[in-house]
């Protein structure tokens, strides 16, 4: 796992722009603390920061190979899990290897198969290849978009990087947001339009896509997309197939030349991954698994069950850790630990995030990084198997909008009427929803209920999951921790996406097919545990701190959001909830979002245009 950055310019001699190219590369230092490299030619600059995971001595980047007296140069982030098999295939085709790294497999894969090399790669990756002979740049991203890759078109070329900060380090790109970007932040909130970078002119390369850039234009290609087909397997075969696929996926993702651990929340998803990893490690003679969990001090005293978090993690974490005899560490946090973390989390994400949820994840990852370089995560199971409440509870309004928008407080309610009109918020969200539905790969002859589940699955995978993956990648890589997500495997997704809902929820349980496929791996209490969200601080001390920050914001007329937010409406909402004796549950969530956006605009000096 690494950080990449680069620049192509058809008019400027980039051999004279080393200082700027180095600044772009240096901005990725958090993603790659182990080594750095910069390659320059007249038309291209490729930078790399390395987090060494495989072949620690080899694999330095940017990596170059000669072809017809010209160089082909690669800067690459990620892991290709089938690199060993591909290396043998390429050797049989006449290629010679200097290293044991998957980086060289990617480079020689391009030399052998050209742009279609991505179709051979199984893993999480984002890379750029400059072909000096063709004078072409190739950008590529994995099928799920697990690894980020941003780009912006300039008057004379293109900038790219693993994170927006790489582009912001170049004078040719500035921190601006227009009405469309504001609509993404205030309208879509927990989701994000695929490919949209929020900053004006910033794009993300779409998952499963390549982008070929040459002097006369850009040529995007979709090399993978989710498809629909009739599911022919019976329940027993389906259960066995899911189990077999998961065993194979986790086994392949244990490959590392550095310490590896597992994130363990005591929920179904992380417990399944950890249990499968434990078996894989045992087969390889690598000892017991290493596990980590996060919790808050005195959480027992303040915990209040809710529909989103019906149970605490701690009892299930202990049960699972004892069951696997793992080398386990609980990372205990205090509310005061979260104070002051916004600078770190905003700096990690370059965009507004999830407030205290990001802060606790950051502190967890920071502690893990003291012991491990790679962590396995259960991220993606709810999206792949359909574990979110909106798959079951479908209020009428969810049929006309992205389903998760009915489950969270609407931050757009804080906008002034004038701002809503200028941003065209409702129209923007409706257009994005219509576009998303138009992409759904429907199955001919499908019943209405199954058709709606297919829509919900596709919307969740295409618009909700990317933001969750981006959060996990950016927060973890801010401290140099590589997180692998076995549930985000394209072959598993292609299979599960087409399992009928009645079979996916076998035994009447959420993610029933996953529970059935893995029940023998887990204690029964864990195997039957209902979904419970990421731990959130419930200590009144934190609420007091948040309220103080919000009151300070209401009194501060220098906020960059001053012309957008209806302060009187927010103040009245706080007063109404307090007088009603219900605390400030709704405005608490809104306050966190508002303060995140405000902090982001201040930190990056974002100009509204």
Per the structure block, which two tokens stand in for 10? 């058809």
Same domain, 153 and 268: no
| Residue 466, SS3 per DSSP | helix
> What is the mean predicted confidence (pLDDT) over 554-561?
90
In this structure, is residue 35 part of a structural domain? yes
Bridge partners, residue 45, by sequence: 7, 40
Whether residue 112 sits in one domain with residue 30: yes
Does residue 2 carry a catalytic annotation? yes
**190 pLDDT band (50/70/90 cuts)?**
confident
What is the DSSP secondary-structure string of 233-283?
--HHHHHHHHHHHHHHHHHHTT--SS-EEEE--SSHHHHHHHHHHHHHHHH
Flag whether pLDDT at 399 surpasses 90: no
Say whether both 295 and 148 belong to one domain.
no
Average pLDDT of the residues in 338-353: 91
Number of domains in the chain: 3
Residues 596, 359: Cα–Cα separation, whole Å: 12
> Which range among 75-79, 107-111, 559-563, 581-585 shows the weakest confidence by mean pLDDT?
581-585
- With contact defined as beta carbons under 8 Å apart, do 159 and 173 qualify? yes
pLDDT digits (tens, 9 = 90+) for 446-497: 988 899 999 999 999 999 999 999 999 999 999 999 999 999 999 999 999 9
Same domain, 293 and 217: no
SS3 590: helix
**For residues 355 and 173, which has the higher predicted lDDT (pLDDT)?**
173
User: Within a domain: residue 427?
Assistant: no
Phi/psi class of residue 340: alpha, beta or left (left: φ > 0; alpha: ψ in -120 to 50)? left
The predicted structure's pLDDT at residue 69: 56
pLDDT score of 397 more than 80 = no
Quickly count: other Cβ atoms within 10 Å of residue 237's Cβ.
10
- Percentage of the chain beyond pLDDT 90 is 74
Q: Residue 208, by phi and psi: left (phi above 0), alpha (psi -120 to 50) or beta?
A: left
Query: Is residue 190, in this structure, part of any structural domain at all?
Result: yes
| 262 and 327 part of one domain | yes
Q: In whole angstroms, give the CA distance from residue 353 to residue 425.
A: 20
Q: Does residue 422 belong to any structural domain of this protein?
A: no
Whether 75 has a pLDDT exceeding 80, the answer reads yes
Q: Does 413 fall in a domain?
A: no
| End-to-end Cα distance, the chain | 35
For the chain, percent of residues with pLDDT exceeding 70:
96
- Return the pLDDT at 540: 76
Tell whether 144 and 284 lie within a shared domain: no
SS3 472: helix
Would you tell me how many other CB atoms lie within 10 Å of the CB of residue 422? Answer: 15
Q: Is the predicted pLDDT of residue 198 greater than 80, yes or no?
A: yes
Please say whether the beta carbons of 24 and 161 come within 8 A: yes
- pLDDT band of residue 121 (cuts 50, 70, 90) is very high
Specify the CATH number for the domain of residue 28: 3.60.20.10
pLDDT for 585: 58
Same domain, 515 and 547: no
User: Is residue 70's pLDDT more than 70?
Assistant: no
Please name which of 474, 197, 484 lies closest in space to residue 361, comparing C-alpha atoms: 474
Please identify, among 499, 527, 555, the residue that sits at the C-terminal boundary of a domain. Answer: 527
**Among 153-157, 300-304, 367-371, 605-609, whose mean pLDDT is lowest?**
300-304
Instruction: Show the domain range for 207.
Output: 2-222
Q: Are residues 213 and 267 in the same domain?
A: no
Q: Per the domain annotation, does 147 fall within a domain?
A: yes
Q: What is the CATH number of the domain that holds 505?
A: 3.40.50.620
pLDDT digits (tens, 9 = 90+) for 95-118: 999 999 999 999 999 999 999 999
Give the angle subtended at the CA of 504 by the CAs of 499 and 509, to the nearest 5°: 175
Residues 203 and 295 in one domain: no
Distances (CA, A) of 560 to 19, 183, 593: 32, 16, 15
pLDDT for position 577:
63
What's the rounded Cα separation, in Å, for the pair 609 and 607? 6
pLDDT band at 572 (very low <50, low <70, confident <90, very high): confident
Q: pLDDT for 507-543, tens place per residue? A: 888 999 999 999 999 999 999 998 877 777 777 777 7
Residues 251 and 174 in one domain: no
Q: Residues 487, 377: one domain?
A: yes
Residue 37 confidence class, pLDDT cut points 50, 70, 90: very high
Residue count of the chain, please give it.
609
Q: What is the DSSP letter of 219?
A: E
Catalytic residue, candidates 2, 30, 261, 365: 2
Does residue 396 register a pLDDT over 60?
Answer: no
Same domain, 39 and 144: yes
Give 244-294 pLDDT, tens digit per residue: 999 999 999 999 999 999 999 999 999 999 999 999 999 998 899 999 999
In a domain, 32, yes or no: yes
For residues 37 and 62, the answer to whether their CB atoms sit within 8 Å is yes
pLDDT at 582 over 50: no
Q: Are 313 and 532 within 8 A, CB to CB?
A: yes
**pLDDT band, very low/low/confident/very high, at 579 (cuts 50, 70, 90):** low
Lowest mean pLDDT among 47-56, 226-235, 332-341, 405-414: 405-414
- Which of 222, 248, 279 marks a domain boundary? 222
**CA distances to 49, 126, 305, 349 from 358, in Å:** 24, 23, 21, 10
Q: How high is the mean pLDDT of the chain?
A: 92
Check residue 573 and give its pLDDT: 78
**Which among 192, 222, 252 is the end of a domain?**
222
Identify whether 210 is part of a domain: yes
Q: Is the peptide bond before 62 cis (omega within 30 degrees of 0)?
A: yes
Task: Determine the average pLDDT of the residues in 73-100.
Answer: 96
- Which range, 558-562, 577-581, 600-604, is most confident? 600-604
């Amino acid at each position: 796992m690494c950080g990449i950055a680069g620049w192509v310019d058809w008019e400027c001699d980039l051999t004279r722009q080393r200082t700027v190219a180095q600044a772009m590369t240096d901005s990725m230092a958090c993603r790659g603390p182990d080594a750095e490299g910069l390659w320059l030619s007249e038309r291209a600059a490729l930078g790399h920061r390395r987090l060494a995971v495989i072949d620690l001595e080899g694999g330095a980047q940017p990596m170059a190979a000669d072809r017809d007296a010209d160089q082909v140069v690669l800067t690459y982030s990620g892991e290709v899990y089938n690199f060993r098999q591909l290396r043998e295939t390429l050797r049989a085709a006449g290629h010679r290897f200097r290293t044991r790294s998957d980086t060289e497999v990617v480079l020689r894969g391009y030399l052998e198969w050209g742009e279609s090399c991505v179709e051979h790669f199984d893993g999480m990756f984002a890379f750029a290849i400059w072909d000096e002979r063709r004078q072409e740049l190739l950008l590529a991203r994995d099928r799920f978009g697990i690894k980020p890759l941003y780009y912006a078109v300039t008057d004379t070329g293109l900038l790219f990087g693993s994170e927006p900060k790489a582009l912001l380090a170049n004078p040719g790109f500035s921190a601006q947001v227009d009405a469309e970007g504001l609509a993404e932040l205030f309208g879509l909130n927990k989701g994000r339009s695929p490919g949209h970078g929020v900053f004006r002119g910033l794009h993300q390369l779409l998952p499963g896509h390549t982008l070929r850039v040459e002097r006369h234009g850009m040529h995007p290609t979709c090399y993978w997309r989710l498809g629909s087909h009739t599911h022919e397997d019976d329940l027993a075969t389906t259960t066995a197939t899911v189990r077999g696929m998961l065993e194979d996926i986790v086994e392949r993702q244990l490959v590392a030349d550095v310490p590896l651990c597992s994130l363990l929340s005591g929920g179904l998803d992380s417990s399944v991954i950890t249990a499968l990893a434990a078996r894989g490690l045992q087969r390889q003679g690598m000892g017991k698994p290493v596990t980590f969990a996060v919790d808050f001090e005195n959480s027992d005293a303040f915990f209040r069950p809710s529909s989103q978090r019906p149970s605490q993690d701690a009892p299930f974490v202990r049960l699972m850790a004892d069951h696997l005899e793992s080398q386990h560490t609980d990372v205990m946090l205090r509310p005061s630990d979260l104070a002051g973390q916004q600078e770190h989390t905003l700096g990690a994400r370059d965009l507004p995030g999830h407030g205290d949820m990001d802060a606790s994840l950051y502190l967890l990852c920071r502690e893990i990084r003291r012991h491990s370089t790679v962590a396995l995560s259960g991220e993606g199971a709810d999206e792949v198997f359909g574990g979110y409440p909106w798959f079951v509870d479908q209020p009428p309004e969810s049929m006309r909008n992205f389903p998760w928008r009915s489950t969270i407080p609407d931050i757009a309610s804080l906008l002034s009427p004038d701002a809503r009109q200028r941003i065209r918020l409702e129209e923007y969200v409706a257009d994005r929803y219509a576009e998303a539905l138009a992409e759904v790969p429907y199955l001919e002859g499908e019943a209405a209920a199954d058709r709606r589940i297919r829509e919900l699955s596709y919307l969740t995978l295409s618009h909700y999951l990317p933001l969750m993956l981006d959060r996990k990648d950016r927060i973890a890589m801010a401290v140099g921790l590589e997180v692998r997500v076995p549930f985000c495997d394209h072959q598993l997704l292609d299979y599960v996406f087409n399992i009928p809902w009645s079979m996916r929820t076998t035994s009447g349980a959420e993610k029933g097919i996953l529970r059935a496929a893995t029940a023998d791996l887990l204690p029964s209490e864990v195997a039957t545990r209902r979904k419970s969200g990421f731990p959130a601080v419930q200590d009144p001390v934190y609420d007091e701190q948040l309220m103080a920050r919000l009151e300070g914001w209401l009194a501060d007329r220098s906020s960059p959001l001053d012309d957008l937010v209806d302060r009187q409406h927010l103040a009245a909402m706080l007063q109404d909830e307090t007088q009603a004796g219900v605390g400030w549950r709704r405005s608490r969530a809104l306050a966190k979002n508002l303060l995140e956006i405000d902090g982001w605009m201040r930190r990056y000096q974002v100009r509204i245009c």
